[in-house]
Amino acid sequence: MLSTSNLAMWIILLPFLGFLHNAFAGLIWKKNAKKVVSYVAPGVVLLAFGVALMVVMTELPNAHDHRLIGALIPGTSAATPWINLGGLRINFELLVDPLSLLMAMIVTGVGGLIHVYATGYMAEDPEQPRFFTYFNLFITMMLILVLGGNFLLMFVGWEGVGTCSYLLISFWYKQSENAKAGNKAFIVNRVGDLGFALGMMLIWSVFGTLSYFNDKGTGVLQLAGAGHAEGAHTALHAISVMGTPVSVAVLTTICVLLFVGAMGKSAQIPLWVWLPDAMAGPTPVSALIHAATMVTSGIVMVTRCSWLFSQAPQAMQLVGYIGLATAFVGATIGLVQNDIKRVLAFSTVSQLGYMFLACGVGNYTAGMFHVTTHAIFKALLFLGSGAVIHSMLGEQDMRKMGGLRKKIFKTWLVMWVGTYAIAGVPGLSGFFSKDEILHSALSSPGNGMFLYAVGLAIAFMTAFYMNRLMHKTFGVTAQFVDGELPHQHHSNFDDHDAHGHDDHAHGEHHDDHAHEDGHGHSQVHESPASMMIPLYVLAFFSVAFGAWAKFTGAFEKFLEPVVPQMTHLEAPITESMGYIISGCVAIAGLTLAYILYRKPKVVETGQLIPAETKTRWEKSPLHPYTFLLNKWWWDVVYNGIFLKIGGIFAILLWKVVDAGIINGTIEGLGWIVGGFSRLFRKLQTGYVRNYALAMLFGVLVIVLGVLGSWSIAAK
């Protein structure tokens, strides 16, 4: 009998209640709606974090097999059916185990800090209540995804976060680029979602259920776990359903289809192209998507299904190589980006590749360890970049920054912490989680040394482009005139309607720094406390969490009951030596950027490569700089295939097949039927004598027919 949880539902319900409140706040609170929403929106998420902690401390320790089943709807039980049709039974059930609770704490903890930050960042936006309505709904859907007790509930959350990402990326929808970015994210994710849906259907057809666990022991993951245990000492594992073995080919197909879904949500090749454009939304949106919610969905799903993947080695190999390729591509593109948020976006693509590499080599704990540390330092970096954008009145181009260290020293300090963490500087969180992945790759069967070498090269590039970001933003000579910064307008309203509010809105601080001329010029300044306090908290955990988790072993021990332990070869390099190598690689990348960007001419202009040289390079589409600047031409290829060629094909389908054949056939049939109708309509005169004559004629035909048949029969 599975143990039950009484608190788990409130982890989801609290943000959901916040969503409902924010949606109707204008009707309830009238003029005070924005102020009330700024307290309710972060408050419900942080309360949900407190509930998750309570479940970890009070309910989970007493659970059988470290697993609890909870109800989703108050007043019901976990066995309350949602769908019960034709043998398909789906319950409103929540699975509460170390994996789901870890993700719940990340989503509500880091997400709660992002909410607090957003109260300052969005304070002056006229549509702030709508923003927090979407924000709370985003958290709700992500929690359904990670806490749902079956594949269909996970799919509900899966589609929910996709919808919310569309709403938030295109939040300022009156700017066409933002609307296009939201559409791009939504459409690309639909491709991946089709794979997830097909995988889910195949799971149902094979296992006869979509529940992870049940009291009968026939849940999908229960059967997969039993098969893993049975085959633990053999070359082949053995999942069986009702005594019938599940073939490796079928299992591999299931895993590949699920991974296609993960490619979309977690931005892996070839479905990664939407994530860089997700920068169109307000910076808190970028932080929430990239750090705590949507992009981690694929990692969580693969880890949740790790008992299946562990018995489909070809699918695992695909996961690992796709992850490595994505990490490499993302890192190379990040080397040449000029938009501060786009640099961080491509670093997210790259770091997600690292996480899938960990899953592909069978160290799911290492993958989730990096999910956790990345959520912390990537939220810090995105929110820090938002503070920079705020101080620059909406400017995001690093070529127009520089010299900000003395002007916004506090922001510079926390950004350095995040930079060192993601670069893998020894002692910080990213160092421990990234090295765990690299060591697992090195000790994996097959091409372990190749995976390790490419992983180190990616780490080097990460350290380089992050230090490049810091020098171009804070270190070189200021490329602007303080006091003459133009406002970069980001809003659904013009400057007059929005009172000069834009995506760097900062409440009462706006007037403190504005010139009397009223032209929207202002000086560089630090962000308000509501934005800085979350940065301090995230900076602390970016420093301390990784070392605590590694040296206490608490993280690995916490997840051990819910992920399979894979057998690895003995690595040719010890773990201690691996730490030294990866630490040296990180420092080398940082040092190279420091040397290059501390040259006097570079410090003066802010450009490592002169603008004229770049212009000349950009004329050659195959030049490495142009190639990387245009994201390996992925968008160009996709536009050519799906928009131009696909558009021509769509026009042919429309004009030839739809308008010509289908409409022509229907209209032709209609014309024929109409013609016969007009002919027979003339027979309906309305005169009784005509009808009597027609009946007489009919009787005469029948009589003649009968007489004729008799004469034929007589012969």
Average pLDDT over residues 619-645: 87
Find all residues with CB under 8 Å of 689, minimum gap 6, and list them: none
The whole-number pLDDT of residue 168 equals: 92
Asked if pLDDT for residue 586 goes beyond 90, the answer is: yes
DSSP states along 50-96? HHHHHIIIIIGGGSGGG-EEEESSTTS-TT-EEEEETTEEEE-EEEE
Place of tokens 């990239």: 290
Angstrom distances, CA of residue 486 to CA of 133, 348, 406, 480, 567: 30, 30, 20, 10, 58
Percent composition of the chain: helix, strand, coil (DSSP 3-state, to 5): 70, 5, 25
Task: Determine how many CB atoms are found less than 10 A away from the CB of residue 42.
Answer: 25
Provide mean pLDDT across the span 458-473.
Answer: 95
Gap between the Cα atoms of 110 and 542, Å rounded: 12
Pairing of strands 240-241, 88-91: unpaired
Query: Which residues, 6+ apart, have CB-to-CB distance to 203 below 8 Å?
Result: 151, 210, 220, 254
Q: What angle in degrees, to the nearest 10, is found between the helix axes of 98-121 and 128-147?
A: 170
The helix or strand, by DSSP H or E, that contains position 299, with its residue range, turns out to be: helix 297-304
- The stretch 498-521 carries a mean pLDDT of 39
pLDDT at 93: 92
pLDDT of residue 568: 66
Q: Residue 666: is its pLDDT beyond 90?
A: no
Instruction: Return the higher-pLDDT residue of 459 and 507.
Output: 459
Average pLDDT, rounded, for the chain: 87
Average pLDDT for 319-335: 95
> Got the DSSP string for 335-398?
TS--BHHHHHHHHHHHHHHHHHHHHHTT-HHHHHHHHHHHHHHHHHHHHHHHHHHHHTTT--BG
Instruction: Supply φ then ψ for residue 236, to 5 degrees.
Output: -115, 135
Question: Who's near 14: CB < 8 A, 6+ residues apart?
Answer: 44, 45, 47, 48, 51
Q: Mean pLDDT over residues 330-346, rounded?
A: 93
- Element of type H or E holding 313: helix 313-334
CA-nearest of 326, 329, 303 to 316 is 303
Whether this model's pTM surpasses 0.95: no
Spatial separation of the C-alpha atoms in residues 13 and 20, rounded to whole Å: 10
**At residue 516, does pLDDT exceed 60?**
no
Owner of token pair 């605590």 = 548
User: Which range, of 161-170, 280-289, 514-523, 629-638, averages the lowest pLDDT?
Assistant: 514-523
First and final CA of the chain: distance in angstroms?
87
Give Cα 175 distance to the centre of its chain: 23
pLDDT given at position 424: 92
Angstrom distance (rounded) from CA 352 to CA 298: 9
365: confidence class by pLDDT, cuts 50, 70, 90: very high
Question: pLDDT at position 499, please?
Answer: 42
Tell me the mean pLDDT in the region 296-307. Answer: 94
- The domains of the chain are located at 1-170, 630-684, 688-715
The yes-or-no verdict on residue 469 having pLDDT over 80 is: yes
Enter the DSSP assignment of 244.
E
Q: Which residues of 440-454 are buried (b: 16+ CB within 10 A; e: fewer)?
A: bbbbbeeebeebbeb
- Decide: helix, strand or coil at residue 686: coil
Q: What is the mean pLDDT of residues 168-196?
A: 89
Residue 152 has pLDDT above 90, yes or no: yes
CA distances from 96 to 77, 181, 547, 578 (A): 14, 35, 27, 35
Give the length of the chain. 715
Distances (CA, A) of 570 to 233, 358, 563, 575, 583: 17, 17, 21, 11, 21
pLDDT tens sequence across 198-254: 999 999 999 989 999 988 888 899 888 876 665 544 445 567 777 778 888 999 999
CA dist., res. 169 & res. 288, Å (int):
11
Q: Which of 266-275, 394-403, 689-698 has the lowest mean pLDDT?
A: 689-698
